Amino acid sequence: MGHFERYIGIDYSGAGLPDQGLQGLRVFEALPHEVPVECRPEGGTHPHWSRRSLTYWLMETLSSGAPVLVGIDHGFSFPIAYLETYALGGGWDEWLDDFVKAWPCHLEGVSVESQRSQNVRLGSARWRRQTEIVAGAKSIFHFDVPGSVAKSTHAGLPWLHHLRHFVKSRIHIWPMDGFEVPDGVSVLLEAYPSLWKGVQGERMGTADQKDAYAIARMLETLDRTGGLDALWGPPQDLWIRNLALKEGWIFGVPFS
């Protein structure tokens, strides 16, 4: 038996405004032993999710009581160089509060692009988290290049902050809340679809759909086959362990 009853893969998008329906924002969900299917917003005027509508759907889903495993392909924290530059030496929640004040991309009419000029909290494309170095991924501050998650991270973190506050008792954000996951709780983790290209659905129409499908499919497979426990960690290297609790970690990337 697996730990979870539902598996959700999200290919995130940092484009546009928070209430704008986005073709690049895709969601797939799998039940145990089943192939993931795409989830679309219900009852709205747009066939695609906005970041706001997706957050509210996740709030409802994560409050249902059944443990859900959610993988999202944007960063959950920033490199240690950023934290040191801005003297953010407290915990992850303190950093997240500070970030939302500087990048309020959850507010009506606010986009990442509108916040990029003269922002008080800017990073450098030279700064990379350890998990990005190991995975060969681009910096979270590397905007406007193919394969970048800079926009989606800056747009998505305020909504992660929203989830954190409104369903905190029901979710474990890995690894920020610790590497060991309690039984019976829902888990949010940072996913990197490039790790799982081999399980992308051949019939999926777009790259975004394929990525969301791959996340949901791999999470369900790992839970069903007992592979999750080996990937939770914690890392044996104490330096990596402490760093990952501050910078976050891409699930499935080796702790090296």
Q: pLDDT digit string (tens) for 53-79?
A: 999 999 999 998 899 999 999 999 999
Task: Please give the single-letter amino acid code of residue 245.
Answer: L
Strand partners, 7: 30, 69
90 confidence band (pLDDT: 50, 70, 90): confident
pLDDT tier at 249 (50, 70, 90 boundaries)?
Answer: very high
Region 6-26: mean pLDDT is 96
Q: Decide if pLDDT at 148 tops 90.
A: no
- Is the distance from CB of 111 to CB of 22 less than 8 angstroms? no
pLDDT tens readout for residues 180-215: 999 999 999 999 999 987 776 556 689 999 999 999
**Is the separation of the CB atoms in 137 and 179 below 8 Å?**
no
Write out the two tokens for 65.
Answer: 């009581």
All residues at 6 or more sequence positions from 56 whose CB lies less than 8 Å from its CB, including other chains: none
* Cα–Cα distance for residue pair 200/193, rounded to 1 Å: 9
Q: Is 94 exposed, middle or buried (0-12, 13-18, 19+ CB in 10 A)?
A: exposed
Strand order across the 186-190 sheet: 37-38, 26-30, 6-11, 68-72, 186-190, 171-173
pTM metric for this prediction: 0.95
Rounded distance between C-alpha atoms, residue 27 and residue 220, angstroms:
14
Tell me how far apart the alpha carbons of residues 140 and 52 are, in angstroms, rounded to a whole number: 22
**What tokens does 127 get?**
């700064």
Q: What share of the chain in percent tops pLDDT 90?
A: 80
Q: Which of 55, 14, 20, 9 is nearest to 159 (CA)?
A: 55
Strand bridging mode 186-190 / 171-173? parallel
pLDDT of residue 44: 62
* Separation CA 129–CA 177 (nearest Å): 18
Phi/psi of residue 139, nearest 5 degrees:
-65, 150
Q: DSSP states of 35-98 as a string?
A: --EE---SSSSSSS--HHHHHHHHHHHHTSSS-EEEEESS-SS--HHHHHHTT--S-HHHHHHH
